[in-house]
């Protein structure tokens, strides 16, 4: 009877460990933008972001179970398309996209483009880590 309880406890622990591994989340890109462009039919405005505004507008994409998620934008599921120096992470529901350039010089640049109503916001910056 005691060995049965030990076996059941072991199986529960192994099952929990396997589930935790299966749900591992990896940062693909996590970076703060330096500039924001806001465009509407009436005006276009460029803003250099200070450290507070930059942190508030964090661009964060993660990979979980082989799928990409826009963690900084309501954890929306993203499609990933790679071509040449560029990687696109696209919200299939039309919420926007993130474009990452992993240059031959090792520099990583990104832009995040989102639309809210009839106004678009585009953020630009550099990243130190990109792990597609």
Res 101: pLDDT:
97
In a domain, 2, yes or no: no
Res 9: pLDDT:
56
| Per-residue exposure over 68-104, b if at least 16 CB sit within 10 Å of its own CB, e if not | bbbbbbeebebeeeeeeeebebbbeeebbbbbbbbee
In a domain, 19, yes or no: no
Domain that holds residue 36: 25-127
Res 16: pLDDT:
46
Residues 36 and 123: beta-carbon distance below 8 Å: yes
In a domain, 32, yes or no: yes
Confidence of residue 26 (pLDDT cuts 50, 70, 90): very high
How many domains does one find in the chain?
Answer: 1
- With a threshold of 0.85, does the pTM exceed it? no
Predicted confidence (pLDDT) per residue in 46-103, tens digit: 999 999 999 999 999 999 999 999 999 999 999 999 998 999 999 999 999 999 999 8
In a domain, 34, yes or no: yes
- Cα separation, 124 vs 54, whole angstroms: 10
Phi-psi region of 96 (alpha: psi -120 to 50; beta: other; left: phi over 0): left
Name the more confident of 14 and 80: 80
Res 23: pLDDT:
75
Name the more confident of 84 and 120: 120
Kindly report the average pLDDT of the chain as a whole number.
89
């Amino acid at each position: 009877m005691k060995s049965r309880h030990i076996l059941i406890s072991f199986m529960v622990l192994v099952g929990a460990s396997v589930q935790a591994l299966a749900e591992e989340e990896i940062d693909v890109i996590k970076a703060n933008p330096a500039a924001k462009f806001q465009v509407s039919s009436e005006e276009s405005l460029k803003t250099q972001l200070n450290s507070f505004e930059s942190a508030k507008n964090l661009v964060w994409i993660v990979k979980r179970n082989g799928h990409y998620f826009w963690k900084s934008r309501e954890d929306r599921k993203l499609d990933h398309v790679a071509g040449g120096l560029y990687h696109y992470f696209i919200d299939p529901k039309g919420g926007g996209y993130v474009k990452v350039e992993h240059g031959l010089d090792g520099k990583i640049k990104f832009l995040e483009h989102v639309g809210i109503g009839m106004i678009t916001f585009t953020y630009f910056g550099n990243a130190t880590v990109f792990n597609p």
